[in-house]
């Protein structure tokens, strides 16, 4: 069985010259973006970048506070309890957290440390570069110890302090 051939030549049952020319012109014109379309896309990208930049500080700040909260409530709790078991009491305020790293002359016979595994033999600092504050006996935890970070404002006894209370 033979099928008739379709010819696109003018006058042969295909598209007319006028229709073909119109389609070709539309393709040429529609191949790029208009200036208005490009400006709209740039405005949308600018808004998205602005949202991301303004919220990055909030996201990063929240994670720093969460890390600090975990550190003062959980991470240092175990070394302090081990110290108390071995020596009978927590380090005093004057001894500070340094007592977890090095024994003093009056407790060298019972000291089984170091109780805190740190690199370089230095006590860790909070995410804002400040040393953690330690008090025993505690002011906020009477009968126990206070361990806290001064928080983003780097000032003690303010609302943004992050402690084990």
Q: Which domains does the chain have, with CATH numbers?
A: 40-163 (3.30.700.10)
Report the alpha-carbon distance of residue 90 to residue 86 in Å, rounded: 10
7 alpha carbon, distance to own chain's centre: 66
Residues 27-81 have pLDDT tens digits of 565 578 899 999 999 999 998 888 777 766 666 656 888 888 888 888 888 899 9
pLDDT value of residue 31? 72
Question: For residue 38, what are its two tokens?
Answer: 């490009």
* β-sheet bridge partners, residue 147: 134
Report which of residues 136 and 113 the model is more confident about: 136
Cβ neighbour number for residue 87 with a 10 Å cutoff = 20
Of the chain, the percentage scoring pLDDT greater than 90 comes to 19
Average pLDDT over residues 129-143: 89
Side-chain-side CA neighbours of residue 60 (13 Å):
9
Asked whether the beta carbons of 146 and 132 are under 8 A apart, the reply is no
Average pLDDT over residues 10-26: 56
- φ and ψ of 163, to 5 deg: -130, 180
């Amino acid at each position: 069985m033979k099928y008739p051939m379709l010819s696109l030549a003018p006058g042969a049952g295909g598209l007319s010259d006028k229709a073909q020319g119109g389609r070709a012109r539309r393709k040429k014109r529609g191949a790029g973006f208009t200036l208005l379309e490009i400006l709209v896309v740039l405005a949308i990208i600018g808004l998205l970048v602005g949202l991301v930049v303004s919220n990055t500080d909030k996201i990063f700040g929240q994670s720093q506070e969460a890390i600090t909260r975990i550190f003062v409530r959980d991470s240092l709790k175990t070394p302090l309890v081990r110290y108390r078991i071995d020596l009978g009491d927590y380090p005093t305020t004057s001894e500070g957290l340094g007592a977890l790293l090095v024994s003093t002359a009056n407790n060298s016979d019972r000291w089984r440390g170091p109780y805190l595994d740190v690199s370089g033999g230095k006590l860790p600092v909070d995410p804002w570069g400040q040393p953690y504050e330690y008090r025993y006996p505690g002011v906020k935890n009477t009968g126990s110890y206070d361990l806290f970070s001064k928080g983003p404002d780097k000032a003690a006894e303010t609302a943004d302090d992050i402690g084990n209370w």
